[in-house]
Amino acid sequence: MRKYEELAKVIIENVGGKDNVISLAHCYTRLRFKLHDEKKAATEVLKDMDGVVTVVQSGGQYQVVIGNEVGDVYDEIVKSQGIAGASSEAESAEPEQKMNVIDRFIDIVSGIFTPVLGMLAASGMIKGFNAMFVALDFIDANGGTYQILQTIGDGFFYFLPIFLGLTAARKFKMNEFSGMAVGAALVYPSLSAIIKGEPLYHLFTGTMFASTVQMEFLGVPVILMNYASSVIPIIATIYFGAKVERLLLKTIPTIVKGFMVPFLTLLIVVPLTFVIIGPVSTWAGQLVGSAANGIFQLSPVLAGLFIGAFWQVFVIFGMHWGLIPIMLNNVSVQGFDPVVVTYFGASFAQTGVVLAILLKTKNKKLKSLCAPAFISGIFGVTEPAIYGVTLPRKKMFVISCIGGAIGGGLIAFFGMKLYMFGGLGIFAYPCFVDPVSHDISGMKYGMIASIVSFLIGLGLALPFYHDEKEEEKIFVVKKDGNKILEKEILTSPLIGEVMALEEVPDDAFSSGVVGKGVAILPSEGKVIAPADGTVMTIFPTGHALGLITDKGTEILIHIGIDTVKLNGQYFQAKVKQGDKVKRGQVLVEFDLEKVKAAGYSVITPVLITNFQQYLDIIGTEKGNIDYKESLITVIA
């Protein structure tokens, strides 16, 4: 669609252009960019753009939150902007970035699990509904319907190491098919029969690592584990395998690399996995699960209160990726997760707060944000609610955290268990049905916890939410009580011919997607400040800068069209990001004639990027304008 094409174009321009993008992926609501230089991105411009909820910089990723339409925007970027998705070779060329340990961990986990989250959720939902149908006597557990549905839902989980072998190979820069082949070896069906056979002998008897040995490899004992649905062993194996493959690529002659590298990689990695990496990583997973459960058991309700309260904060900063592996590991090792599941009430509390605001606000724009955020929140996707509605109204966000905390405490008190990773929101209810005993009590408790969380969010937000503070930003009140309109006059930052924005030869500007305002065809290569304010953003190339006036108006001045391609040639910035400036102060100087001689248009859009906050943006009617003459009037 046309709107996605325009939005894709503007997003790429404001993340610093195609050349600044290392890789791109997306999850439920966010475009996840990796950029060469995040300083080149016009973050404030993106935040104020129609179609963008906000921008989050976390875990080494530059995340542009779109909302429910993220898949369409992602597809359009890949299609029309020439940006390669995360599954392409572009990511394999990704340079190492300097990150702290936590950011590096989050980056690795999110990179491995993000591509499979949709299928994890879909498969889990099928398994959950299948268990629920049996519990409610809709179908027979021994019948063909149950078996086929279980095959559909359980197939992905059983062969999870193959899929994680693929995504981990992408992340660790290993041949993807080699990664899948390693995962396939771990779940090779014949191994199940060997595991059930008579052991040759025992190892580590009397310790927590006591194991049976059913086979040997070249005389070395092999401790066979059940790797179906496992998580940690395949990730550890591919991490090691990527290093082996890189070493082989450096040493094997080019003429035989095509088959000798995967041949030797598999011969080295798979046996070492069965002998060492698999058992050790399986034990490590068991220890992680035991430690998490042990801490949880010290005070389940307190832990539930904590996770429920801060889950949305974790989501904002991407820290929830550190807990998801614990959940998946618990499900794999124990068959259920009683710890991380305490997050479940948080999305319902958030949704209840959004409904309260929707019911009380008279602000039409806010209502238009609340309605879709409420709908997506019911299904567990809360980023539109967080970034678009509650977080800007801090008290409302705190109330949603209170509701999430109480929901988490209830979940822990009930002793609820998550038996499979499935859908979010109301689609997660079947995930609390025990697939073995078909006990549905967990689902009932999940419904109770979610309803309580929702009602707390709704009930606390209704009396505390008021539009008045937002209205104070719009109106100034005279002593006689009559309301008058407030306005800010911005003077011209350039000298030259005034043009309508529609005449700008660039769809992103002419369509008004980036902002409202006018354009100037300059006759002199100098840009001055149109008001007192602060430099929010200035591109390293000097061709564009963003200001925020002391009254809160956000201004983008983009000198020329596509002049970013000059890489700063002919531009000289006189200020830097964070500088306080006065009206009339010189911001940028540029060689007007050389820019034109290089083949670039010098038409300069002057835009109000946070135009949504104002009643009207009025441009001058003058045909030509000089410095400090009134150019734009902002009506609030």
What CATH number is associated with residue 81? Answer: 3.30.1360.60
d(CA 54, CA 62): 11
Per-residue pLDDT, 84: 64
CATH number of the domain within which 499 lies: 2.70.70.10
Computed over every residue of the chain, the mean pLDDT equals 84
Q: Is the pLDDT of residue 421 over 80?
A: no
List pLDDT tens digits, range 298-326.
Answer: 889 998 999 999 888 877 765 676 677 77
Q: Which of 175-184, 218-227, 603-612 has the lowest mean pLDDT?
A: 218-227
Question: Exposed (0-12), middle (13-18) or buried (19+): which is 351, by Cβ within 10 Å?
Answer: buried
Contact 612, 48 (CB under 8 A): yes
Residues 216 and 266 both lie in one domain? yes
Q: Which of 389-393, 521-525, 529-533 has the lowest mean pLDDT?
A: 389-393
The DSSP element (H or E) to which 519 belongs, if any, is strand 516-522
List of residues 6+ apart from 2 with CB closer than 8 A: none
Active site residues: 27
Residues 310 and 377 both lie in one domain? yes
Q: Which two tokens stand for residue 590?
A: 């540029």
Residues 287 and 328 both lie in one domain? no
Contact 1, 80 (CB under 8 A): no
Residues 609 and 524 both lie in one domain? yes
Which residues make beta-bridge pairs with 606? 518, 557
Q: Which of 19-23, 108-112, 277-281, 557-561 has the lowest mean pLDDT?
A: 108-112
Q: Is the pLDDT of residue 343 over 70?
A: yes
d(CA 363, CA 372): 15
Residues 307 and 398 both lie in one domain? yes
List of residues 6+ apart from 483 with CB closer than 8 A: 475, 476, 477
Secondary structure of residue 54 in the 3-state scheme: strand
Main-chain dihedrals φ then ψ at residue 58, nearest 5 degrees? -160, 150
Per-residue pLDDT, 2: 59
d(CA 266, CA 244): 10
Max avg pLDDT among 130-139, 186-195, 258-267? 258-267
Residues 334 and 370 both lie in one domain? yes
List of residues 6+ apart from 297 with CB closer than 8 A: none
Residues 198 and 279 both lie in one domain? yes
Per-residue pLDDT, 166: 94
Secondary structure of residue 100 in the 3-state scheme: coil
Which residues make beta-bridge pairs with 21? 35
Higher per-residue confidence, 349 vs 438: 349
The whole domain housing 318 covers 299-466
The residue among 270, 296, 322 that closes a domain is 296
Domain annotation covers residue 254: yes
Per-residue pLDDT, 496: 94
Number of folded domains that form the chain: 4
